[in-house]
Each structure stands twice: as structure tokens, then as C-alpha cells.
Amino acid sequence: MSVRKLKPVTPGQRFRVVNGFDAITTDKPEKSLLAPNKRSGGRNAKGRMTMRYKGGGHKRRYRIIDFKRNRFGIPATVATIEYDPNRTAFIALVNYQDGEKSYVIAQNGLQVGQNIVSGDSVAPEVGNAMKLANIPLGSIVSCVELRPGQGAVIARSAGSFAQLMARDGKYATLKMPSGEIRVILQECMATIGAISNSDHQLVVGGKAGRSRWLGRRPRTRPVAMNPVDHPMGGGEGRASGGHPRSRNGIPAKGYRTRDLNKASTQYILERRKK
């Protein structure tokens, strides 16, 4: 994977850094695994705007991803590595030996023609999915379940991964992408390897229009608002706005909002760094 810096032939391309898409092998998705993707534009059922700065953007179709990987013991061959407009990671189209097709999140290093499989007694190789109980300690994993059978919810975005640190009783200790260390049931599934498209963080839009293509509308700075609109608005001249806080007054930049009595706190061994 790589990124390319474009020549500044237009003002919008002067700072533009694009993804090289070296790993992508096709630009035509599998039709049977596509679904409509209706967009709300930040409006609720009454048509009122409840989420600001959202709307517009290019029309997309949803790719149906297999996050559960519960077809145990059936080998699958990677047919293509594809771009998915709905996520930062690349996805892989896999053909199972019984004729079934599905999309999975592509791990870094996954190649076309490679065989992957999920199950209890499979080799800990990139792309293979298994329970945390069967993964060697110290392994880099991604697409981790939080509850058995739920489907992957942890470490799914481009370049992210978790590390299996230890096992004790029915729990496994994982170091999360955020740096948080927590325990998860060993019965939960995870996939070996880090997520693909790790260069996503290096991409630079280059112009405001690209944000509009992605469905992001212009965002007004709070210090430019009036006091009636935001706690940081108002003041004579170019006032700094006071302490950084959200529209409803909750402090930002370091203020912790997690409920200390939350049930899942008992599973967190070490909080993420600030």
C-alpha cells in the first residue's frame, strides 16, 4: 500500500495526497452482496435536523459484510480485494468451497488466491478466524467480538489491531487500539492480522469539495457563533471563547464523561491514555 502526492496543476490538487490503491484488484462489486443505503441527511422521522453538518454526498450501495465468520471448517478462497465506500478498510470477496460467496474485512497482507478458514483447530495465519482461546499469546488480531456470536465490533477500521496479552480462567486480556487493556470472554471470535489500508491516515483531501462528496457539510466554529448558539460564542472582537466545551456545556479536551458505575467497567483493567 502507498500514497501519491499529486502535482499542483489546480489549487485543489496542491496539497492533495491520494491513496495508491495498490491492493485493489477490481472496481466491480459482487451484485448479490449489495444492498440499498438510504441516507438521512441528519434528519429524524419528522424531517427535522437533529445532527448538524451531515448531508449530500455521493450515492452509495452497502456491501453486506460477514462479521460473524461462523462458517466453521469450510475453506474459502480470496477472489478479489475491493474498495468499500462505507468504511476505511478494504474488503475481500471470498468464495467458499460449497459455492457460497461473502465479503469479509481484508487484513493487511491478504492476497488474491489465498485460502482462509474459520474454526477451532485452524492455523493462526493472516485472515483466519478463531476463538480467542485458540489464538497464540502475543498475536496481532482484528475484527474481535465483544460477546460470543455477536459479530466483530472491535478493531475494524483501516490499520487498526488489538493484541492478545494473556488468558485467565474464561477471559482473555486484550490491548485495544486505543491503548485500553480489558478482558473479553475467550469464546469470542477474532481474526489474525491487522486491518488493511493502514495508509488511510496519510490521505489529504486537498479541497472542501471532497468533504462534500463524502457527505460532510461545512462546520461552523463555536467561537464564531453568538452566545445564544454556543457557550463559546460571543465576546468583543476575536475572543478566544473561554474553556473548550460542547454545545450543551460539557467540557472537552480531557474531561472524562464515562459513568463510573457502568457495568462494563469491571472488565477494563487499564483505561486508555488521554
Sheet holding 101-105, edge to edge: 101-105, 91-96, 76-82, 115-116
pLDDT at 2: 87
User: For the domain 3-201, what is the CATH code?
Assistant: 2.40.50.140
Residue pair 191/119 in contact by the 8 Å Cβ criterion: no
Per-residue pLDDT in tens (0 to 9) along the chain, 274 residues: 689 999 999 999 999 999 999 999 999 999 999 999 999 999 999 999 999 999 999 999 999 999 999 999 999 999 999 999 999 999 999 999 999 999 999 999 999 999 999 999 899 999 999 999 999 999 999 999 999 999 999 999 999 999 999 999 999 999 999 999 999 999 999 999 999 999 999 999 999 999 999 999 999 999 999 999 999 999 999 888 889 999 999 999 989 899 989 999 999 999 987 6
Task: Output the CA torsion 195→59→41→247 (10° steps).
Answer: 40
pLDDT at 121: 87
pLDDT at 1: 63
pLDDT at 139: 96
pLDDT at 213: 97
3-state secondary structure of 216: strand
Task: Output the CA torsion 63→64→70→76 (10° steps).
Answer: -50
Enumerate the β-bridge partners of residue 94.
78, 102
Residue count of the chain, please give it: 274
| 3-201 and 220-268 share one fold | no
Euclidean distance between CA atoms 147 and 112, whole angstroms: 31
What residue segments make up the domains of the chain, in order of their start?
3-201, 220-268
Residue pair 105/141 in contact by the 8 Å Cβ criterion: no
pLDDT at 123: 94
Euclidean distance between CA atoms 95 and 116, whole angstroms: 10
Rounded to two decimals, what is the model's pTM? 0.92
SS3 per residue for 135-188: CCCCCEEECEECCCCCCEEECCCCCCCEEEEEEECCEEEEECCCCCEEEEECCC
Kindly tell me the burial class for residue 257, based on how many C-beta atoms sit within 10 Å of its own C-beta (0-12, 13-18, 19 or more).
exposed
Euclidean distance between CA atoms 25 and 273, whole angstroms: 38
CATH class label, 220-268: few secondary structures
